[in-house]
Amino acid sequence: MYKRAGELAEIVHNSKEIHIVTHIDADGIAAGAIALQTLKRLGKKHSIEFIKQLDEQVMNRLKNENHNLVWFTDLGSSISDNSQSINKIITDHHVCSDDVDFSYHLNPHLFNLDGADQISGAGVTYLVSKSINKKNKDLSFLAIIGACGDLQDRKNCKLIGKNQEILKDGKDAGVIQSKIDIRFFGRETRPVYKMLQYSNDPILPGLTGRESACISFLQDLGITMKDGDNWRKWVDLSKDERKIIISNIAQLLLAKGFGHKLTKRIIGEVYVLNNEVEGIELHDVKEFATLLNSTARYGKPDVGINVCLGDRNKWLGEARNLLRGHRQNLVEGLQFAKEEGIKKREFLQYFHAGSGIRDTIVGIVANMLLNSEEITSDLPMLGFADTENGDVKVSARGTQQLVERGLDLSKALKKVAAELNGVGGGHNIAAGATIPKGKEEEFIDILEKEIKNQLYSSDVL
């Protein structure tokens, strides 16, 4: 991979003007920021755009724009045209087509590495950046934000593989550190009871989703919840207080029969940025990634990228406003999906949000549903939402247990979408597709067979 990164770096060096095309999510923004900063430092003429999905229309437009070089980041894995009509390099981590031209792709799947947890789009982009100049090691923190934005630390409760190598670069450069701590979201910005209330990996029986239960749980443990007028956050607690809470959560899970493996998931590696102030949304990497997501998914990726590039005034303020809106939308989206009703089939479950949930957050909602106490996690969850163009977006989310049994949502969605004149792909555990409106029922029928095959053929083996 390092050799290929060097080859792509050479192509960048030899180009006068470079146009970056990146994905609108946290990983895509982080990837775009790395590419942009790298080109700035090189003094190259550059531009950037953010897109939801790479389709023929976009490719045709790019061709007509006649760029010296197009640098695709966190997308483009499926580009396989050999017509040389666009000079390009592609740093992506999504599953590739079998017939890609190796000369301009840097993708973990081409090196027998799983792009779902070994390295992110921002990570592969970083490898090229580092090849261009070792000094760009200080951008490694963006690669870690991208990886955590794509939940690459979920399976192992920490980053692994190439991501760990990148993390080491970040530690060497003094920009990031890792520590072992509780893995729940909001360690630095949420009151402790809120952090417990929103916990979902694992779900805390009797606590997740229940505010007053979380408050009395902490009170019973003798934890002081307020410091003057301020709610105490996890990072405000003493070591002993944290120990007491962790051990009581562990006891609760074990008593409910969750088993050691699942119980251990409350603890893992967390990552914090040395150059940010503790207690704001940018210090903890996961929170930073969520902040980026809440800019990208509302069509404001320029806000996110400016925060990545260092703005802590105007753009950060706007990002915070967007984050507030994003949280509100997720709460409403969850509510909406539950009211619409989750429909269960034998091998999958789904909801159709119509225009009730933005297509850019329907995947997050699907994932939250899959992780909520009252809904089974034994079946993959699909969420449908109408797009602006009159198509339908499908987001599919699975669990690690299902993947271990053979589930590959990327393969399944790609195949079924193609049969219905749509496009799909992604990762085994999380994938998406866009299909023509009206084809939803057909899509579900064919996909269900596909999932059944995946789960059963591997059982037999």
Kindly tell me which of 150 and 284 has the beta carbon lying closer to Mn ion: 150
Residues numbered 321-340 forming contacts with Mn ion, rule: CB under 5 A: none
| Smallest separation (angstroms) from Mn ion to the CB of 74 | 4
Q: How far is 458 from 405, CA to CA, in rounded Å?
A: 7
Position 301 contacts Mn ion (CB under 5 A): no
Per CB under 5 A, 27 contacts Mn ion:
yes
Closest residue to Mn ion, based on beta-carbon distance: 27
User: Smallest gap, in angstroms, from Cβ of residue 16 to Mn ion?
Assistant: 28
Strands 267-273 and 381-386: unpaired
Nearer to Mn ion, 31 or 353 (CB): 31
| Interface with Mn ion, residue 281, by CB under 5 A | no
Task: Give the integer Cα–Cα distance in Å for 120 and 90.
Answer: 13
Cβ atoms within 10 Å, residue 420:
17
Binding piece for Mn ion, criterion CB under 5 A, among 53-61, 73-81, 183-191, 254-262: 73-81
Size of the site for Mn ion (CB under 5 A): 4
Distance CA 332, CA 22 (A): 28
How many residues make up the chain in this entry? 461
- Residue 72 beta carbon to Mn ion: minimum distance, rounded to whole angstroms: 12
Give residue 381's region: left, alpha or beta (phi > 0; psi -120 to 50): beta
Applying CB under 5 A, which part among 102-110, 147-155, 313-321, 434-442 lies near Mn ion?
147-155
Are 271 and 148 in contact, with CB atoms under 8 Å apart? yes
Nearer to Mn ion, 117 or 386 (CB): 117
Does residue number 450 form part of the binding site for Mn ion (CB under 5 A)?
no
Binding to Mn ion by CB under 5 A, coded x per residue (else -) over 111-130, reads ----------x---------
Work out whether 92 is an interface residue with Mn ion (CB under 5 A).
Answer: no
414 neighbors 77 (Cβ within 8 angstroms): no
Structure tokens at 427: 């990762």
- State residue 157 phi and psi, 5-degree precision: 60, 20
Closest contact distance (angstroms) between CB of 150 and Mn ion is: 4
Residues 79 and 70: their CA atoms lie apart, in Å, by 12
Closer CB to Mn ion, residue 27 or residue 188? 27
Residues 199-238 close enough to bind Mn ion by CB under 5 A: none
76 binds Mn ion, rule: CB under 5 A: no
CB of 360 to Mn ion, least distance (A): 14
| Residue closer to Mn ion, measured from CB, 117 or 281 | 117
CB of 32 to Mn ion, least distance (A): 11
| Sole window of 19-27, 201-209, 261-269, 315-323 interacting with Mn ion (rule: CB under 5 A) | 19-27
Q: Is 276 in the site for Mn ion (CB under 5 A)?
A: no
Report if residue 74 touches Mn ion, rule: CB under 5 A: yes
d(CA 119, CA 128): 13
* Residue 259, CA distances (Å) to 144, 202, 325, 378 in order: 30, 11, 37, 17
Contacts of 129 (CB under 8 A, 6+ apart): 34, 35, 37, 38, 136, 139
E-strand spans in 141-237? 176-182, 226-227, 230-231
> How many Cβ atoms sit within 10 Å of the Cβ of residue 459?
9
Give the interface segment with Mn ion, choosing from 24-32, 108-116, 299-307, 368-376 (CB under 5 A): 24-32
In the complex with Mn ion, the residue whose CB is nearer, 48 or 342, is 48
Asked if 150 touches Mn ion (CB under 5 A), the answer is yes
Q: Ramachandran region of residue 438, left (φ > 0), alpha (ψ -120 to 50) or beta?
A: left
Under the rule (CB under 5 A), what is the footprint of Mn ion? 27, 74, 121, 150
